[in-house]
Chains A and B, each alone.
Chain A
Amino acid sequence: MPADPRPRGLHGLRGLRGLREGAWGWLFTTPMVLVLGLFMVLPIAMALWVSLLHWDGQSNPFDGSADFVGLDNYRRLFTVDGLDRTLFATSLRNTLYYVVLTVPVQTVLALALALAVNQRLLRGRGALRTVFYFPSVTSSIAVSTVFLFLFQGSGAVNRMLGWVGVQGPNWFADPRGLVWLVLGWFGVDQPAPTAGGPLGLAWSEWFAGPSVAMCTLILMAVWTTSGTFMLIFLAALQDVPRELEEAAALDGAGRRQVLRHVTLPALRPVLFLVLTLGLISTWQVFDQVYVMGKGAPGNTTLTPAYLSYSSGFDNADYGQGAAIAFVLLGLVLLLTAVQRWALRERDGAPGPRSKGVRRAAR
């Protein structure tokens, strides 16, 4: 973009400078545009095309040799009765329970930990904060390895349960849903799967609850993410004006009342933020599933992300895999849009430069 060489007085000079600025701006952003364009936007466009094909991965999907099937891959997920739909529905069911259990537990735990660690008179608060946060920075693969070891049939967790007289299940091999497991103690057996229920999955399956194996994934998610969310709460807590709390205390409000009427309302935007962040990230669970069983036992740890991967790379049905990925993408974008809409123009959420963050970092 060479600048126009002809002098055009003051206005021309400013224009020249503006042009040069513009060139610099684009130059500075070129690596970003290239990398994000080539490896984020282009892949999505290519996959969108592949999701309209029946492609087995053994030919070129862009030369017309693969069958163009239109929206068939999507129809097989939602309307066509068959195995693909059953598997997809199963993965949705599994992830739904995973989300519904993980998000509230990790949020409440993170809030509790943050409130505790925020006590100004607590000794060793720095060390405690480190301990609670450390699992969050480790690799999901390494952590999954440790959990596989801990939750073996005769592993450490079941030994500990044994000390209190509980015979632990064979965690990773147990496909029984929690709901039917508990009902089983009262003599109610899981009914035979019958047709009916949304997406071709029997109602008894929808209501089975998370399997025992899925519970280990939930426990792991809570263990690894509560630290991160604790820090977010902590930053927000330190942004709560201390004067407000003290004024309330002077007015004779008890500790619990201060918490309920001053602290928690101040945390509401952050609470919403943590909830939505949790929602968005739990729908994407993949690494743990890959390491800890690949959907087994009995497809009860299958998630949409893993199903997408395995449809492509295991069953050589890349079109179907891409279609699942786009359904998941739509879901995540929807959640993100809700989050951004609700948090728009609101200053309650601490940015990286907020006072609280800096104080929490200390």
Chain B
Amino acid sequence: MATSRTLATAAVCTAVALGAVTGCSSSGGFGDTSAKQSTGAGQSLTVLIASSGEAETAAVKAATAAWAQRTGNTVTVQIASNINQQLGQAFAGGNPPDLFYVNSDQFANYAKGGSLYAYGEQIPDASDFSEQLRKAFSHDGRLTCLPKDSSTLALAVNTTMWQQAGLTEADYPTTWQQLADDAAKLTKDGVTGLVTAPDYQRLGALFKQAGSWITNPEQTAMTADAPGNRQALEYVQGLLKAGSAKYVADVDAGWGGEALGKGRAAMTIEGNWLKGAMAKDYPNVPYKVLPLPAGPAGPGTLAFSNCWGIAAKSRHQAAGVDLVKQLTSADQQLEFAKAFGVMPSRTSALATYAEKYPESKAWVDGVAHAQPPVTVPGFNQVLTQFNTDLQSLRTADPAAVLAALQRNGEQVVKNAR
């Protein structure tokens, strides 16, 4: 009899355990799409950022803390190690942070999947952001996500090496030919004339200078195999073969700034993030920032930006919009510019920035003829593969590299429509 009783007890226990397993399901299964909105003070917001370093982290924390204090809410800032992966998992998991950086190459993915709350209409002075940036962060014609900052590429040269090579300011390159000549003159004794990262985020500027780009302006068709692109890659290949240009890994550097800072490069192509890094890591290296030389079709550079995304599933959307307004205000953007060297995304603030930091003029001026990034959903993978192909450009056939890009991209563009 005793056994039967134990058996019964055990059966009950198991049943309870079973219930606990299935009962653990709180809310938040797949069907849950509504987000009940909180109002008033005392809300708790989570902000996820991809930080370039301690300066950026501290600045964002200070700015959000100031807002939190003013409004009576609390803000937690989390630093992502791989923001695309973390956001992707968070969206699929149904538990995203309230506010986060959105990379321009991921924007379309998130917007198309309905993960972003489109709040652009609530920003009365949205026209202060450049049209190009607004377009990059609009989905179905609605501004979804406010640009956090803006960046362009320029040519940074080591002025000491410049003089040592017997060059003067008059020799600053304004054409591809001059760039090639200068790079050849600067290459000697362990110094390479031009060092750059082997990715489309740098070399793509030459596409624009040659009058073409990876897609058509509407991003509905691939134009990667356009003759201009081939001309650009053949030009870079020529420099690489001549030895007057090298990729960063070939000079044991992680990126252009490191190559310039360690004295292994006389010139590099980088964006305005270079300024903060040089000041911090290599304060004694003298350099000057010049506009990128013009190509056969005129001047051209690339524009980059992140935007402040608000989750469609956030329960603090109103508070989130208020926080974004604060973070993208002209004053705050100039504050960020001071703290970690980013360029404001507001046209008005950009003008102030240009006055305050004349040494960054080349980057500011670049905005006028900058090519915005490709924002087709799923295109990120295609560009990663293109970057891989660019690594072996010295020995590769430029036409074949571009043909692969064209082929890979066509599928994605077709799927996106």
Point out the residue from A20, A58, A86, A153 that lies within 8 Å of B252, measured CB to CB: A153
A228 in contact (CB, < 8 A): no
The yes or no answer to B91 lying at the interface (CB within 8 A) is yes
Residues of chain B within 8 A (CB-CB) of A189 are: 395
A194 CB contacts on chain B under 8 angstroms: 400
Contact yes or no, B380 A315, CB < 8 A: yes
Closest CB of chain B to A49's CB: distance in Å?
13
Residue A174 interfacial (CB < 8 Å): yes
Chain B hits for A193, CB < 8 A: 389, 392, 396, 400
Nearest neighbor of B412 in chain A, beta-carbon distance: A83
In the complex, B296 has a CB within 8 A of chain A: no
Map CB proximity to A onto B39-81 as digits: 1 under 8 Å, 0 otherwise.
0000000000000000000000000000000000000000000
Q: Answer whether residue A34 sits at the interface, using C-beta atoms and an 8 A cutoff.
A: yes
- Per the bound structure, the CA–CA distance linking A330 and B139 in Å amounts to 40
Determine the chain A residues whose CB is within 8 A of the CB of B37 once the complex forms. none
CB neighbours of A310 from chain B (8 A): 85
A186 at the interface (CB under 8 A from B): no
Cβ-closest 9 pairs across A and B: A58-B113, A57-B92, A60-B30, A83-B408, A192-B397, A298-B388, A173-B249, A192-B396, A313-B88
The answer to whether the Cβ of A209 comes within 8 Å of any Cβ in the partner chain is no
Q: Which of B369-401 contact A (CB under 8 A)?
A: 378, 380-382, 384-385, 388-389, 391-392, 395-397, 400
Contact bitstring A167-194, B, C-beta under 8 A = 1, else 0: 0001001110000000000000111111
Assess whether B347 is interfacial by the CB under 8 Å rule: no
| B30 x A82 contact (CB < 8 A) | no
Q: Main SS of chain B's interface residues?
A: helix
Closest Cβ–Cβ distance, residue B198 to chain A (whole Å): 9
Q: A294 an interface residue at 8 Å Cβ cutoff?
A: yes
Give the chain A neighbours of B412 by CB distance below 8 A.
83
Flag the segment in A24-32, A131-139, A351-359 that touches B.
A24-32
**A174, B30: Cα distance in complex, Å:** 42
The answer to whether A313 and B92 have CB atoms under 8 Å apart is yes
How many angstroms between the C-alpha atoms of A59 and B30 in the bound complex?
Answer: 7
Selected A-B contacts with CB under 8 Å, 5 pairs: A24-B7, A56-B112, A59-B30, A83-B385, A316-B113
Extra pairs beyond A86-B408, A313-B85 (12, CB < 8 Å): A57-B91, A60-B30, A62-B30, A63-B31, A83-B381, A83-B382, A83-B408, A189-B395, A193-B389, A193-B392, A315-B88, A316-B109
Segment 45-67 of A: residues with Cβ below 8 Å from B: 56-63
In the bound complex, how far is the Cα of B88 from the Cα of A31, in angstroms? 33
Q: Does the CB pair A34–B388 fall under 8 Å?
A: no
Cross-chain contact B396 with A82 (CB below 8 angstroms): no
Q: Is A38 an interface residue (CB 8 A)?
A: yes
The size bracket of the interface on B is 35 or more
Do B21 and A192 touch across chains, with their CB atoms under 8 A apart? no
The answer on a CB contact under 8 Å between B252 and A170 is yes
Per the bound structure, the CA–CA distance linking A20 and B4 in Å amounts to 8
Question: Cβ of B407 < 8 Å from any Cβ of A?
Answer: yes
Task: List, in ascending order, chain A residues with CB within 8 A of B380's CB.
Answer: 314-315
A20–B88 contact, CB under 8 A?
A: no
Interface of A, secondary structure class, is: loop
Q: Is B411 part of the binding interface, using a Cβ–Cβ cutoff of 8 Å?
A: yes
Q: Is A317 part of the contact surface with B, judged by Cβ < 8 Å?
A: yes
Interface residue B227 (Cβ < 8 Å from any Cβ of A) = no
Provide the residues of chain A in CB contact with B170, threshold 8 Å.
Answer: none
Q: Is the CB–CB distance between A57 and B408 below 8 Å?
A: no
Instruction: Flag if A34 contacts B408 (CB, 8 Å).
Output: no
Give the residue name and chain of the A residue nearest to B249 (CB): A173
- Identify the interface centre among B4, B109, B397: most chain A CB within 10 Å of its CB: B109
B231 in the interface (beta carbon within 8 A): no
Once A23-B7, A63-B30, A310-B85 are accepted as A-B contacts, the answer to whether A57 and B113 lie under 8 Å apart by CB is yes
B89 part of interface (Cβ distance < 8 Å): yes
* A86 engages B385 (CB within 8 Å): yes
Is B115 an interface residue, CB under 8 A from the partner? yes
**Given contacts A30-B14, A58-B91, A192-B400, is CB(A82)–CB(B113) below 8 Å?**
no
The docked-state distance in angstroms from the alpha carbon of A141 to that of B10 is 40
In angstroms, how far is the closest chain A Cβ from the Cβ of B197?
11
State whether A314 touches B411 (Cβ < 8 A): no
Contact flags (1/0) for A1-35 with B, using CB distance below 8 Å? 00000000000000000001001100100110010
Q: How far is the CA of A59 from the CA of B32 in the complex (A)?
A: 9
Is A299 engaged at the interface, CB distance under 8 Å to the other chain? yes
In whole angstroms, how far apart are the Cα atoms of A193 and B389 in the complex?
9
Residues of A within 8 A of B85 (CB): 310, 313-314
Contacts of B10 in A (CB 8 A): 27
Q: Tell me if A297 and B249 are in contact (CB < 8 A).
A: yes
Q: Does B84 contact A (CB under 8 A)?
A: yes
Give the Cβ gap from B145 to chain A, nearest Cβ, in Å. Answer: 16
